[in-house]
Amino acid sequence: MSRKLVKISMLTLCIAQLAACGGSSSSGSLIAGTDTETETDAGDLSEWMVNTTERSTQIFESSSSLGVLQDVQSVSIESVDGSDYVYVQATGIPKYDITMTQDMVDELNSRPRASSDFYSGSTTATAGQLVEFGEDIGYISSTDNCDSTGGAGYWPPGPVCPTDTAKQVYITKNPQPNSGECDNGLGITGLLVNGTSVFGWGDGMSYNNQGVWYNLAPVAEQYDVDFCGGHAANNEYHHHFYTSCLADFVGDDGSAHSPLYGYAADGYPIYGPYEGAGELAVSGWKTRDYGATVSEGGCGTPGERSCVLIDEYDISQGVDSTVSAGPDVDQSVTTMSGNPLLASDGYFYQDYYYAGIAASGSQLDQYNGHDNSDGRGYHYHITLQEVSGKLTPSFPYTIGPRFYGELPANAASSCDTGEGTMGPPPGAGGPPSFL
């Protein structure tokens, strides 16, 4: 396969009102470009950002005074029961070093709870400052891990600080379509090329804990993530949606089809948001019109969440009006971190339905992927949309609510059986505070 190193350039975007924008990054890792003519295979080890020497100066190993090794430590091909896998070992700690812009500083200081989020009522970061991943910028961070292994002051109040997770992930080199249905649960759904995890759309919480109207993590947690749109659950750093920081590392500036960002747990590749030069891949999921008729997926009264779809993949199946009502779309809700947000259409999973594929090469299927005969084979896209002149995450954000492919027995994820739907991720022991 033909490969070339790409020049790093920052893709400046404002993400979900957090304005994770601008700046520059540096890394001692290997960064390879995308192959635009040949199907991407997890076995092309040059795609991974491998680092065996560079350590964090902000986050430390719990068993020593050494900084945690960043990005991916090793990647190799291994055969298990006659099948080939890419075996990736990483700490889950990326090398995200960001140069602050004035817009980023202003956005931090305009947080709804800035006076109580920061020790001094505002961030200590200044325009032009290079902020390392985990460096103190004045937040009153959680005491979980932050004081013992580093990271205090970098994360907003609420999420725990990430630690060395000694991540070991197998990714099949021979992914196969799933003949059935495999819903995503909480926890890891894929792995980025820098060794950090991809999580799905949910944060495990529902409106008033009613077991319906499930939060979309990128919306409900927009004030609970760092510059790069990530945070930790059970100590594991992860992303629910697009990160401009990784886009910078892989050179995704929107001038061509996005390069590879990572792999889903089923082995299919995940690309960035661009289908071509200046052309975004388009999600096939649409927000419901609650004022529409039942046959059109609505509840009959504009702005009132009084029914849910029986099948979000087929609105012709009608609605269920016996469920507990959700908040009106013009009603304010309070997040787990105490931030007020408008529960506008698109705040909950039940606000969406799959509308099908249009005749367009940029259109994605129900899994948030496609094979449009461009030589890449089937692949997922991380999705963005333009809203009022700004690019923001677009549901389902990374891969769809279901995996396209079969999950091998040793995959990093498993199918959600529907029992205890959207419960806590493995090992949590109870409903998580933040994902």
- pLDDT greater than 80 at residue 17: no
What's the Cα-to-Cα distance from 371 to each of 363, 365, 380, 382, rounded to whole Å? 10, 10, 9, 15
Nearest CA among 197, 355, 350 for reference residue 270: 197
User: 220 and 341 in contact (C-beta within 8 Å)?
Assistant: yes
Task: Report which residue type is found at 176.
Answer: Q
Q: What pLDDT, on the 0 to 100 scale, is given for residue 226?
A: 94
pLDDT band at residue 426 using 50, 70 and 90 as cut-offs: very low
Confidence label for 418 from pLDDT (cuts 50, 70 and 90): low
* List of E strands, 23-173: 55-60, 67-69, 72-80, 83-90, 98-99, 130-131, 167-172
Q: Which helix (H) or strand (E) holds 309?
A: strand 308-309
Q: Identity (one letter) of the amino acid at 242?
A: Y
Mean pLDDT of the chain: 85
pLDDT at 191: 97
Q: What is the pLDDT of residues 330-357, one digit of tens each?
A: 999 998 888 999 999 999 999 999 998 7
Q: How far is residue 43's CA from residue 85's CA, in Å, rounded to a whole number?
A: 8
Residue 63 confidence (pLDDT):
84
Model confidence pLDDT, tens digit, residues 75-115: 999 999 999 999 999 999 999 999 999 999 999 999 999 99
- At residue 45 the predicted structure's pLDDT band, cuts being 50, 70 and 90, is confident
Instruction: Give kind and range of the element (H or E) at residue 248.
Output: helix 244-250
Query: What is the per-residue pLDDT across 259-269, written as a single tens digit (0 to 9) for each?
Result: 999 999 999 99
Residue 386: which residues within 8 A CB-CB, separation 6 or more?
280, 392
Q: In the prediction, which pLDDT does 221 show?
A: 92
User: For residue range 183-201, what is the model confidence (pLDDT) as tens digits?
Assistant: 998 899 999 999 999 999 9
**Long-range CB contacts (within 8 A, 24+) of 356-361:** 356/284, 357/284, 358/282, 360/282, 361/275
Lowest mean pLDDT among 76-85, 162-171, 425-434: 425-434
- Which tokens hold the place of 130? 């290079």
